[in-house]
Amino acid sequence: MSVPVIWSIAGLYPKNEFVFVGQKDLHDLFFGMPNVNYQSFNAEYRGAAKRGKELLKTIKAIYASTPFDTLIDLQADISTLLTRLWCHTKSIPVKTVDNVFFKQRLHIFSHGNTPAPPSMFETYAAALQKAGLKTDDRFISLPVNKNAAEYVHYTFGEKLDGEKWIGIAPFAKSASNMLPFRTTKSIIQHYASLRNCRVFLFGAGVVESEMLNQWSCIYDNVVSVAGMLSLGCELELMRQLDSMICMDSANQHLAALVGLHVITVWGGTAPSNGFCAWKQQETNFIEPARRLNCRPCTLNGRKRCRRKTFECLTRYTAQQIIDKNKI
């Protein structure tokens, strides 16, 4: 979610150099930004303290090779505390993101009856502005990664005239953000039965990959790409899609980075919490038709339902989601 605002300052300040430090190798998200250097650090350790030590080690190495002028902390939690303290000892200015956690939690506890918190895009932009960096909403889409695009073309072929490519990402980290398998299978079955329609299933993890592979084996024109593509190739494949259906998960944000309008299904979470994807239309959001007095119940998702029914998800029908996706 930080990519659009980083793209903004990279374009507005082309003579400046920015180093973005993240937990995973996500350099493909910053493709086309020549003055943004992505650096990843080892964050496999459990516990904020150990992650914080690894982050500090990386920051020290970056500073030793290229001393930086300002640290902008977009996380501002216990894992970045050591880095902030170290910067203070070096007299390096530190700007931190505003803590909107209270506003987000209050919005959840009131089940949407309090003012919506600012989006994370606005929150990140405010942190950059503290460092004197102006931002705008110029970002539309990441530029085409030619190497990744060629690999996608080589692997899946060229889209035929009149053919529709549909992406479906049915999984998420938490059960409160996932449709029942029966509903998901019905959606896949519908698009698989259409002429000149090809379905691509997105996911991550061993269990997800096995399930998606099973569905892809049932239907001839359904392909599971779980675990088989690099992040850059996934982005280029998404760029070729006519539409994308997904839950409130990382895939909605990835698809938005290549300018794709996404049909997003919301369960325990809600778009009003500030985590909807970049420039997505509210008409593409699918929420329970009748307001539930227990929803939203979580900020990022939860594994269990307090009512043990996951009513916010079982209310959806496959046809309701299919009707929303006008292709």
pLDDT, residue 231, reads 95
Same domain, yes or no: 83 and 210? no
Separation CA 76–CA 120 (nearest Å): 13
Whether 184 and 99 map to the same domain: the answer is no
The CB density around residue 159, as the number of other CB atoms within 10 Å, is 15
pLDDT for 298: 86
Model confidence pLDDT, tens digit, residues 122-136:
999 999 999 999 999
- Looking at the structure, tell me whether residues 215 and 275 fall in a common domain: yes
Q: Is the pLDDT of residue 277 over 80?
A: yes
pLDDT greater than 80 at residue 241: yes
Does residue 200 lie in a domain region? yes
In the predicted model, what is the mean pLDDT of residues 187-194? 94
Range of the domain at 69: 3-130
Q: Which residues contact 172 (CB under 8 A, 6 or more apart)?
A: 178, 247, 248, 249, 301
Kindly state the average pLDDT of the residues 312-324: 93
Read off the pLDDT of residues 43-67 as tens digits, 9 standing for 90 and up.
776 778 888 999 999 999 999 999 9
Domain end among 130, 157, 192: 130
Domain count across the chain? 2
Residue 70 sits in the same domain as residue 185:
no
User: Long-range contacts of range 25-29, CB-CB < 8 Å, 24 or more positions apart?
Assistant: 26/231, 28/145, 28/148, 28/230, 28/231, 28/232, 28/235, 29/3, 29/142, 29/231, 29/257
Mean pLDDT on 271-296: 87
Span 283-312, mean pLDDT?
85
Per-residue pLDDT averaged across 225-247, rounded? 95
Residues 19 and 87 in one domain: yes
Q: Residue 277 in contact with residue 140, Cβ under 8 Å?
A: no
Q: Return the pLDDT at 207.
A: 73
Q: Are residues 12 and 85 in the same domain?
A: yes
* pLDDT for res 289: 73
The answer to whether position 186 is within a domain reads yes
Comparing 42 with 275, the larger pLDDT belongs to: 275
Inside any domain, residue 142: no
> Do 80 and 119 reside in the same domain of the chain?
yes
**Residue 52: Cβ within 10 Å count:** 21
Structure confidence by residue, pLDDT tens digits, 242-257: 999 999 999 999 999 9
Average pLDDT estimate for 136-161: 95
Amino acid (one-letter) located at 298? T
Do 237 and 294 have their domain in common?
A: yes
User: For position 290, what pLDDT does the model report?
Assistant: 67
Residue 291 has pLDDT above 80, yes or no: no
Determine, yes or no, domain membership for 138.
Answer: no
Dist. CA 261–CA 282, nearest whole Å: 11
Same domain? For 116 and 205 the reply is: no
Among 130, 157, 191, where does a domain finish? Answer: 130
CATH number of the structural domain spanning residue 315:
3.40.50.2000
Residue 212 domain-assigned (yes or no): yes
In percent, the amount of the chain with pLDDT more than 70 equals 99
Q: Pick from 130, 163, 180: which residue ends a domain?
A: 130
- The amino acid present at 172, given as its one-letter code, is A
Give the residue from 29, 98, 33, 69 showing the smallest Cα distance to 236: 29
pLDDT of residue 260: 94
The reply to whether 152 and 63 lie within a common domain is no
> For 18, phi and psi rounded to 5 degrees?
-120, 135
Q: What is the pLDDT of residue 31?
A: 95
**Does residue 179 sit in the same domain as residue 316?**
yes
pLDDT of residue 25: 84
**Which of 63-67, 75-79, 100-104 has the weakest average pLDDT?**
100-104
Question: Which residue would you say has higher pLDDT here, 206 or 14?
Answer: 14
Q: In CATH, what number is assigned to the domain containing residue 15?
A: 3.40.50
Residue 302 lies in a domain: yes
- Residue with the bigger pLDDT between 323 and 290: it is 323
Q: Compute the average pLDDT of residues 203-212.
A: 82
Residues 62 and 210 in one domain: no
Mean per-residue pLDDT of the chain: 91
